[in-house]
Amino acid sequence: MAARSDGVGLRSERGPILLSLMLATALVALDSTIIATASSSIASDLGHFQQLPWLFSVYLLAQAVSVPIYGRLADVLGRKRLLVVGIGLFLLGSVLCGAAWSMPVLIAARVVQGLGAGAVLPISMTITSDIYTLEERAKTQGYLASVWGISSVVGPTLGGVFSEVGAWRWIFWINIPLAVVAGFMLIRSYHEHRAVGERRERIDYLGAGLLAGGTTALLLGLLEGGTTWAWNSGASIGIFAAALVLLAAFIVVELRVEQPIFSLALLRRRVVAASTIASLVIGVVVMGLSTYVPIYAQDVLGTSALIAGFALAALTLGWPISASQAGRFYLRWGFRVTSVIGSSLVLLGALLTITLGGRSSVWLVAVFCFVIGAGMGLTAVPTLIAAQSSARQNERGAVTGTNMFARSMGSAVGVAVFGAVVNGHVQLNAAGVPEGAGLMTAMHLVFLSIAMVALVLLVAVMFMPAHRREPGIAGAAEAAPA
C-alpha cells in the first residue's frame, strides 16, 4: 500500500492513486446523473414505461447486495483486486446496456453494471481512508467532490443532448474509455502490501446468499405490488413472507458466524448506527428526486429533456460544492453540528418542493434541488468519515460497505415505493407515456414523501458524535499507518 507523504494534491506521491480513484468514481457519478435525464427517451424507444423503475431498482439492488460482500472481501483479500474487478464489471455492463435491443435486456445489463458499482464507490472510499489521515481527508473531499460536481453538469447535459438526437445508447458507451484508463492507472500506481487481508479468513457465503435472496424478494414485492398483482393478493403476501423469512435467517446466521459478511456488531456503535440510518435516508431522497424530477419537468411542465437535465443538475451540483467544504466544517465544529446543518437544508428544500404545481417555473425546481443537494453534501460526508474514523484499519472496508449498503438499499426501496405510488396514479397513452392530471398528483405525493423522509434524516444525525472522535471507539484508528 502506498506510504504516507506530505501533500494531498494530484502531484503528490499519492496523486496517481487519487486520480485513478477519481476516474473510477466518475463512472458511477456520471451514470447516476445521465440515465435519469434520458429515461423518458429510453421508455419511448424501447416501450414499457411501467418497467422504467426497474432500470434504477435492479441496478441499485445489485449494488446494494454486493456492497457489503465487496467490503468484507476488501478487508480479507485486499482493496486493489476487488476494485479492478468492479471496474471490469461496470465496463462489461456498460457495453451490454449500449447494445440492448429491448427493455428486459437493458434491465439485465443494468444488473451487471450494478455489480460493478457495488465495488467502485465503497472500495475507492476505503482506499482514501487508508492512505490519508482524517485531516487530509478533509482536503481530498474537495477532489472527489469535484468529480461529482463535473458529473452533475456534464451528465444531465449529455443525457439531454443524446435524448434530443435519439442517441441514448451513448450514455453507456462513454463509460468505456473512463473504465479502461481508471483500471490501468490503478494497476500501475497502487501497490498494496498484505497488511490488509493478510490472514485468509473464511467468507460467509451463506449469509451473502440469504442477504441477496431476502433483499431481492423485498424489492420484487415492492415493485410489482399494486401493478402486476394486488397488494393483498396471494403472490404479494407470499413474496413478502419469503423476504421476511430469508432476512430473519440472515440475521440469525450473522449473529452466529465467526466472520459475518455483514457485521451486525458494528451497528452497536452509536456513530456507525447513526451514519447507517442517515445513509439509508439519503439514498431514498436522492434517488426519489433523481428519478422523478426529470419526469416532472418534462411531462408536467413540458420542458425539453435538456432543460430537465439542468434542473436535476442543480441537485447534483449543490452536493459536491458543499461536500468540498464539509471537511472544514467538521474539523472546526464537529460531526454532529455539520450534519444537523446539512440535514436541515435537506428538509427545507424538500418542504419547498411540496409547493410545486403544474405551472411552476423550472428554475424554481432547480433552486429547490440545489438547496437539497447542498444539504446532502454537508450530511453524507461527515457521517461517512465519522464512521470510518471509528473503525480499525481491518474494519474500514466493512464499515464503509455497511454505509454504502444502507444508501443503496435506501435508493432501491425509495425508487420501488415511489414507482408504486406513481404507477398507481398515472394513465398511459397508446405510446406508453404518462399523461393527465394524475401525474401531477403522483409527483406531489412523491415530494411529500421525500419531505417526511428528510425529517427522519434530521432526527438520525442528532445521534452523531459531537466531536471529531467518539469516545471509547477505536481511537487509534485515526493514526493507523497505511
What is the Cα 48 distance to its own chain's centre? 25
Cα R_g (the chain), whole angstroms: 21
The sign of the dihedral angle between the CA atoms of 59, 65, 71, 73 is: negative
Domain range summary for the chain, segments of one domain joined by +: 15-192+261-479, 204-260
First to last CA, the chain: 6
Phi, psi angles (nearest 5°) of residue 461? -70, -15
Q: What is the C-alpha separation between 283 and 145, in angstroms, rounded?
A: 17
Per-residue pLDDT of the chain (482 residues; tens, 9 = 90+): 444 445 555 655 677 888 888 888 888 878 776 776 677 677 767 766 666 767 777 787 787 778 777 877 777 777 888 888 899 999 999 888 888 777 888 888 888 998 998 888 888 888 887 777 777 776 776 677 777 767 766 776 777 777 666 677 888 888 888 889 888 888 888 777 654 444 556 677 788 788 878 877 887 776 666 666 777 888 888 999 999 999 999 989 888 887 777 777 778 888 888 888 998 999 888 878 877 888 888 878 888 777 777 777 787 778 778 887 787 888 888 888 989 999 999 999 999 999 988 888 888 988 999 999 899 889 988 888 888 777 776 677 778 778 877 887 787 677 777 877 777 676 655 544 555 567 788 888 889 989 999 999 999 998 887 765 533 334 333 333 23
For residues 168 and 44, is the Cβ–Cβ distance under 8 A? Answer: no
**CA pair distance 428, 171, nearest whole angstrom:** 26
Tell me how crowded residue 6 is: count the other CB atoms within 10 A of its CB: 7
* Separation of alpha carbons 21 and 56, rounded Å: 24
* Residue 17 near residue 2, CB atoms below 8 Å: yes
**Bridge-partner residues for 225, per DSSP?**
229
Q: Is the dihedral of CA 225, 226, 228, 233 positive or negative?
A: positive
The set of cell numbers assigned to 18 is 487519487
| DSSP one-letter string for 134-164 | HHHHHHHHHHHHHHHHHHHHHHHHHHHHHHH
The answer to whether 432 touches 299, Cβ cutoff 8 Å, is no
Cα separation, 459 vs 432, whole angstroms: 40
Question: Is CATH 1.20.1250.20 correct for 15-192+261-479?
Answer: yes
pLDDT at 429: 57
In sequence order, which ranges of 38-102 are alpha helices (DSSP H)? 39-46, 52-77, 79-98
376 membership: H or E segment, kind and range: helix 362-389
Per-residue buried b or exposed e for 288-314, using 16+ beta carbons within 10 Å of the residue's own CB? bbbbbbbbbbbbbbebebbbbbbbbbb
Q: How far is 460 from 200, CA to CA, in rounded Å?
A: 36
